Structure 1
């Protein structure tokens, strides 16, 4: 059975996570502090981890940083009340694989955990470079290339493309994109996503190449070559 470790000091939130993941057939262990969480996180036996950003004892950033330093590649979904973009970037650079803010919809949390599980089973993605077909994204130098050609991306375009590449092949809802890229956990009712997707398409999918960014009607967007 798939096993997930939940490191969360708020009991109400932890029980929401446990109840939702158990409905998906996932066994969940819960730890309510950072010190015990770190011990379990660097040990064997877990397929994924949900990790609170702010914990007593040892905070979430320290936990995921230590995991990566000692070579533990268990996928991590960071969950936090801190919703600003700098915190998201900090969490992902520390080694987190995804980041969502509180309050969150339990079913979306479970969907994100399942994305991490599928990606992990398909082979770990290098922490410093993402690749989808002939599209490359270097997370250290912040450079993007398609078919050997450099892409000039604005900061928001880079974050949007990074999120789509980390979840390639998956349908990403507008809500998921708003939360991951802009820090909103609600739909502001604007065409913000459509405008940025349109600009990104012009750079990633110019004439003469196979389109990678696809619109899934009524659902959202997907990045992939099939």
Structure 2
């Protein structure tokens, strides 16, 4: 499919075929999409929890109770589920880890270049710390990773459901997120839709292009 065909074919899946599992080589590519997602100043302020067994998916589904019960089967019946979490802080130690990794990966020709890059990133992060919006900023970065995951899934013929409809407190407690300096951003279920997925049969609906694009 062309990119446009992929974009128009992609939809938020409402029901999954529990009998179908994403092949391991395909799912490995989806993890690569998350791994190589871009982030501001290469901060990579995220962590991804992957559920691929019934038991692990049941843990995630605990957060889809009460008013969010409509999302429970989209977690338990999917092939895989990914919980995308954002770091709540970016400590000096973490920023040092990033600089060391970039150096190990050959991004700096000299030690001076490494130190300059580290100083620039730390300065940008400190701007958000001073503004008091570091947790909000890292959540925004994590949504970039979600976009890469959704598009990559569509390109590979995998259906997906991004979900904000979950109890963040329950999920945080289940995965001990606060203790790890993390906060849940979004849950994405992945797999193949079933015949009960009414959304797969519906046409796309978007505002007219002239309402959302302005050429300067």
- TM-score interval (norm. to shorter): under 0.3
TM-score by length of 2: 0.26
Q: Which has the higher contact order (CA 8 A, sep 6+)?
A: 2
Which has a greater percent of helix? 2
TM-score by length of 1: 0.25
